[in-house]
Amino acid sequence: MAGLNVDYINPFIEATVNTFSTMCNVTPARDKVFLKGEGEEVYGVSGIIGLGGEAIGAVVLNFPEPVAIAVVSKFVGEEYSTITSSVVDGVGELTNIIAGDAKNRLIQKGYKFEIGLPKMVTGRNYITAQNKSVPCIVVSFSSPIGKFCLEVSLRKAG
């Protein structure tokens, strides 16, 4: 994982655990951290946020459909049984909260970052692609409501 600044990744891991614990009453545990290969995971709902400033790239929060439904149900306090626009919006809001939390953690460390608005992707069993020139770190989490992943793909600006 040469060339990647761990200082960029850890705030996103911390922000994910913090957001899930405080907003959804679910404490995720980090399973493993690895360099993304040829899209080994398939998903149902993803929130994507572009990052700019000192480093540029994106953060992607990926959920299988049942986990997206369960986490948003806990987040908004309403029971969902299928993927609806409310579930997709809920994943977008969680992604936004995590990115904002991570940005604040990065600023506290002296880094300068800007975050964009979340873009949402939904579908059946799609694979998130990556820009080959930018390393992508995948952080997998397990939780009482299922597994999900956070992808952080950043390269130093300039």
What are the domain boundaries of the chain?
A: 6-150
Which amino acid is present at 33?
V
Q: What type of residue is 23? A: M
The DSSP symbol for 16 reads: H
6-150: CATH architecture: 3-Layer(aba) Sandwich (3.40)
CA-to-CA distance for 24 and 16, rounded, in angstroms? 11
| Per-residue pLDDT at 131 | 61
Segment 132-147 mean pLDDT:
87
Residue that the structure tokens 């290969």 belong to: 37
pTM attached to this predicted model: 0.88
pLDDT above 90 as % of the chain: 55
- Residue 153: the pLDDT is 86
